[in-house]
A and B are shown apart, each in its own frame.
Chain A
Amino acid sequence: MKKISSLIVLTLFGFLLCMLPSAATAGDQIKIATWEDVNTFDPGWMTSGERELTIMSCLYNGLVKYKEGSWDIVPDLAESWELSPDGKSVTFKLRQNVQFHKGYGEMTAEDVKFSLERIIDPEAKAPEQGTWKLLEKVEVVDNYTVKLVLKDKMANLFTSALPMNGGYIVSKKAVDKMGREVFSKNPIGTGPYQLASWKPKTHVELEAFDGYWGEKPKIKNVKFLPIVEDSTSEIALKTGEIDIGRAGAINVASFKKNKKFAVHSKPALKTYWLGMTVNKPPFDNLELRQAFRYAVNVDNIVEAAFYGTAERANTILPPGLPDHWADAPVYKQDIDKAKSLMKKAGKADGFQVHLFIPGNDAERIMAEVIKADAAKAGIEVIIEVKEIGAFNEAANNGQTDAYIQFYTSTIDPYYIMQYFAGDSWNPSQWRNAEYTDLMEKGASEVDEKKRNQFYVDAQKLNDKDCWAIWLTHGTMVSIAQDNVDIGAIYPNGRLAPWTMNFK
């Protein structure tokens, strides 16, 4: 009986070993850790500029692109372009003989028209619509010439519309054939890599596209592994299971000292803030908001969560962007001031705040420090940890008293700032007519100086109404094994896998 059962067990064991799907041979493969899995591969419906954009940039090309490692705009699928004198139309000459992945044929002006118009189509409700608000239509002049007709001058056309995901060109034939839903899991672009396989929560595997029109990538196979925990990524780096990963802020220094790794650290183009919901107590009172701002110690919060790897933020836009408000006031902790403001507001005995955060490490540490700081001023902070979906929902519906959130930015300020002029993704429920007006004006103003002033004024309004306590812009750290040439890295830390190589 024992023999039989052990036989059964052994057979089962062997059977299971065989059942695991056999895979492509590793060989020329690079493994990159990402912090979460992707939702979609459809550029027009991208949900996260952090997780998905790197992968999409391998799959697709735009008419223009940011030159690898910088924010310079260089031709990509367009060879040249011409701006009309009134600035309300642009004509692009397209590159010829550009092939789509997996036999979907040559890329033509029709595909460009289709890719951009599917986003501005009011029926489609694409999330990128805001970016392309000023695009009227796209005209096909001939097979390789296409004309963008604008409603007004479009300030962000070349800075954050064309080279970003909203400007990526998809195959018309593929979308028509599959439908948008299927296409979003089976992307067809013209990029250096095509999708080999996607196992949710396990990996996204890309393979070099043989028919790529440009310089072929040196590494044939790129595997993205969603690794949620920093510590897991650290261990996987040390055991050599991944080639490029990240580390918790505390351990970055030790990786820097370790000769087996190269640490690449860039200030990230994102903004963390401690937001207050302004349409309900306690933070419908400006004085209490200001009191809260004086009660917390931003330097301490940032130091605790980022261990000296990130700077504190004083306004929504990261420094380095042309529209950054350089003279933004730097608020230091001042418990007495906080208390006197509370007294003025009639809350001398303190009050309660429900602080909502998603479960990520950085936010959690920040919240714990905020709780301790606020207690000194007599403000009781109750931390509510929500998983990301529930958090976003609670925050966006104004169910929080306070929350910690971050948004990613592009080099165009409109991208991140317009959320607070609208109804969706405006978690503080803050409405300010003047701010909305400034956003509208900024969108169609091409004069750098004037535009600059609009956005700085808008940032002053944020400060005056005090709906947010700006925390940090974060850092983007990539750690590579020493045999990896990580290639070009954009100024916000985004990787360009097609420029990578093994040494």
Chain B
Amino acid sequence: MLKYIIKRALWVIPTLLGVLILLFGLTYLMPGDPASAMLGPRATPELVAEINQRMHLDRAMPVRLGYYLAGVVKGDLGTSVWSGHKVSSLLAEALPHTALLALTSLGIAAVIGILLGAFAAVRRNSPIGGCVTIVSLLGVAVPDFVAALLLMLLFCVLVPILPALGAGTPGDPVDILMHLILPATALGIGWVGYLARLTRESMLDVLDSDYIRTSRAFAIPGKTITYRYALKNAVIPSITVIGLGVGKLLGGAVFVEIIFSRPGLGKLIVDSVHARDFPVVQGGILVATLLFVLANLIADISYAFVDPRIQYE
């Protein structure tokens, strides 16, 4: 298994190299020139030339790729065309907002989803089962950005009780939490149903398994069996799915952050796409990808620990 883990971890290196090349290729092909985006209606050819030179835009493609790779290795992602700030510092400012949002929504979804799923499995023919079906259908039917819009319509326009803008005053936890409620709900709603269904199914499997039957035979109280033994095992697939779902969360965060004007990673990327701020787009996608790759790596490795049936190629 150790061999598998090392192999899996080493595989990340060529993959990331490919990611960097693809990213570079994307921005290389990006239409228009950043200088005119930067200078707006007052661009002069000299200013444009100056910017092109500073960003190595006047060099040949392989040279630029070289500059880019060398920069990334040194942790230098360039400077924003728009603001002149370091891309790395922009990302450092945006990332906590996104992480907080993703973590909150995932946390809430995991608690609600797993409990709901467990209940539904224990009381097989109770209304809770139907509840899970409805919630999971809702989660599938209402994509995160639609949920965000509907929540905004409900709680900011029709009954304006929750804030709609930004991430709250820094240093004021209550305000920050108030600003988290709607975006986190929008982002988490799809996960509640999904995790509930997953937990229910694996819980059903576990409850039917031999060792649970055996413990029943030993007259261990039903609740202990359910929640101490069965749930513990039934949660495993959910945990791995959560790890792998980071990509989906980051994607959903793009929309939710745009709608609620949260200054997170997703908003940074979309704003920069609109402003054609190449270096920030590149850096933003790179960081999102790094997070995703890392989450995948952890999920794969933990899965290897948890489920010995997995095959190691």
| A–B proximity contact (CB within 8 A) | yes
Instruction: Give chain A's interface residues, CB within 8 Å of chain B.
Output: 1-2, 5, 9, 12-13, 16-17, 19-23, 26, 37, 39, 45-48, 125, 127-128, 181, 184-185, 198-202, 225, 227, 232, 235-236, 238-239, 241-242, 359, 387-390, 392-394, 396, 407, 424-425
Please give the distance in Å from A121's CB to the nearest CB on chain B: 12
Q: Is the CB of A181 within 8 A of B152?
A: no
Report B26 CB to chain A, min CB distance, Å: 15
26 A-B Cβ contacts within 8 A?
A: A9-B103, A13-B107, A17-B176, A20-B100, A21-B93, A46-B42, A48-B41, A127-B43, A127-B44, A185-B85, A198-B83, A201-B82, A201-B263, A232-B261, A235-B156, A236-B164, A241-B164, A389-B34, A389-B36, A389-B276, A390-B32, A390-B276, A393-B32, A393-B33, A393-B37, A394-B32
The answer to whether B83 touches A13, judged by C-beta atoms less than 8 angstroms apart, is: no
Q: Which of B10-18, B118-126, B166-174, B199-207 contacts A (4 or more CB under 8 A)?
A: B166-174
A318 to B75, CA, bound (A): 51
Q: Are B263 and A202 in contact (CB under 8 A)?
A: yes
Question: Given the complex, which residues of A lie within 8 Å of B135, measured CB to CB?
Answer: none
Decide if B275 is an interface residue (CB 8 Å cutoff). yes
Q: Would you call A241 and B263 a contact (CB within 8 A)?
A: no
A-B interface contact total, Cβ < 8 Å: 144
| Least distance between B231 CB and chain A CB atoms (Å) | 9
- Take A2-B235, A359-B274 as given contacts and tell me if A200 and B38 are in contact as well, using a CB distance cutoff of 8 Å: no
* CA–CA, A20 and B97, complex, Å: 8
Tell me how many residues of B have a C-beta within 8 Å of chain A.
57
Q: Are B96 and A20 in contact (CB under 8 A)?
A: yes
Q: Which residue of the partner chain, among B41, B44, B165, B173, contacts A232 with CB atoms under 8 Å?
A: B165
* Distance of A47 Cα from B83 Cα, bound (Å): 13
Q: Sort A-B residue pairs by CB-CB distance and give the 8 closest, nearest first.
A: A389-B37, A127-B42, A22-B171, A47-B40, A200-B83, A390-B32, A125-B46, A23-B170
Residues of B with C-beta under 8 A to A16: 96, 99-100, 103
Known: A16-B99, A39-B40. 12 other contacts (CB 8 A): A20-B170, A37-B83, A125-B44, A125-B46, A181-B84, A201-B267, A227-B165, A239-B164, A389-B37, A390-B276, A394-B32, A425-B41
Provide the residues of chain B in CB contact with A20, threshold 8 Å.
Answer: 96-97, 100, 167, 170-171, 176
Nearest residue, chain A, Cβ from B166: A241
**Contact of A235 with B152 in the complex, beta carbons under 8 Å:** yes
Beta-carbon contact of A185 and B165 below 8 Å: no
Q: Closest approach, in angstroms, between the C-beta of A215 and any C-beta of chain B? A: 30
Of A37, A390, A425, chain B has the most CB atoms within 10 Å of the CB of A390
A239 and B160: CB pair below 8 A?
Answer: yes
Q: How far is the CA of A22 from the CA of B168 in the complex (A)?
A: 11
* Distance, CA A260 to CA B40, complexed state (A): 37
Which residues, 130 to 168 on B, are CB-close (under 8 Å) to A?
152, 156-157, 160, 162-167
> B80 at interface (Cβ–Cβ under 8 A)?
yes
CB-CB < 8 A to B167: which residues of A?
20
CA distance A46 to B45 in the complex (A): 16
Compute how far the CA of A424 lies from the CA of B44 in the bound complex, rounded to whole angstroms. Answer: 8
Which residues 220-267 in B have Cβ within 8 Å of A in the complex?
Answer: 232, 235, 239, 261, 263, 267
Closest to B273 in A: A387
Is B310 engaged at the interface, CB distance under 8 Å to the other chain? no
Contact assessment for B85 and A200 in the assembled complex, using a CB-CB cutoff below 8 Å: yes
Measured between beta carbons, the chain A residues less than 8 angstroms from B165 are 225, 227, 232, 235-236, 239, 241-242
Q: Which residues of B contact A201 (CB under 8 A)?
A: 82-83, 263, 267-268, 271
Q: Is the CB of B107 within 8 A of A9?
A: yes
CB distance from B301 to the nearest CB of A (A): 15
The reply to whether the CB of B104 lies closer than 8 angstroms to some CB of chain A is yes
Q: Is B39 an interface residue (CB 8 A)?
A: yes
| B75-107 near A? 1/0 per residue, CB < 8 Å | 000001011110000100100110110011001
Tell me which of B41, B84, B268 has the highest count of chain A C-beta atoms within 10 A of its own C-beta.
Answer: B41
Chain A nearest CB: distance from B259 CB in Å? Answer: 8
Q: Which residues of A contact B34 (CB under 8 A)?
A: 389
Please indicate the chain A residues that have their CB under 8 angstroms from the CB of B41 in the complex: 47-48, 392, 407, 425
Give A392 Cβ to nearest chain B Cβ, in Å. Answer: 6
Name the contact of A23 in the complex, choosing from B160, B169, B268 (C-beta under 8 A).
Answer: B169
Contact A239 B156 (CB under 8 A): yes
C-alpha spacing A199/B157, complex, angstroms:
28
Contacting pair B80 A389 (CB below 8 A): no
Among B38, B84, B100, B261: residue with most chain A CB under 10 A: B261
Known: A1-B232, A389-B37, A425-B41. A22 touches B100 (CB 8 A): no
CB nearest to A389 among chain B residues? B37
- Could you say which residues of chain A place their CB within 8 Å of the CB of B176? 17, 20
For residue B191, give the distance in angstroms from its CB to the closest CB of chain A: 14
**B103 and A12: CB pair below 8 A?**
yes
B160–A238 touching, CB < 8 Å:
yes
Interface check B181, CB cutoff 8 A? no
Asked if B47 lies at the interface with its beta carbon under 8 angstroms from chain A, I say yes
